[in-house]
Amino acid sequence: MTQDTTDHWQAVYRSKQPQEVSWFAPRLNVSLGLLRHAGLNPESRIIDIGAGASTLVDDLLDLGLRHITVLDISEASLAVARQRLGTRAAHVAWRVADAARMDLPARSYDLWHDRAALHFLVDEADAAAYVASATRAVVDGGFAVIGGFAADGPERCSGLPVARRDAQDIARLFGPQFALVDAQREQHATPWGAAQSFAYALLRKGGALSAP
Please say if the pLDDT value at position 70 is more than 90: yes
In a domain, 42, yes or no: yes
The total domain count for the chain is 1
| pLDDT single digits (tens) 24-42 | 899 999 999 999 999 999 9
Say how many Å lie between the first and final Cα of the chain, rounded.
Answer: 32
Provide the CATH number for the domain around residue 76.
Answer: 3.40.50.150
3-state secondary structure of 143: strand
Distance CA(24)–CA(6), nearest Å, equals 19
User: Average pLDDT of 109-129?
Assistant: 96
**Is the whole model's pTM more than 0.85, yes or no?**
yes
Residue 45 lies in a domain: yes
Q: How far apart are CA 1 and CA 4, in angstroms?
A: 8
| Range of the structural domain that residue 191 is part of | 3-15+28-205
- Asked if the model's pLDDT at residue 210 lies above 90, the reply is no
Helix (H, G, I), strand (E, B) or coil at 83: helix
**In this structure, is residue 59 part of a structural domain?**
yes
Q: With bands split at pLDDT 50, 70 and 90, how would you rate the model's confidence at 20?
A: confident
Residue 23 lies in a domain: no
Instruction: Tell me whether residue 211 is in a domain.
Output: no
Q: So what's the pLDDT on residue 15?
A: 86
Instruction: Classify the C-alpha dihedral 177-210-46-187 as positive or negative.
Output: positive
Residue 86 Rama label (left phi>0; alpha psi -120 to 50; beta) = left
Is residue 22 included in any domain, yes or no? no
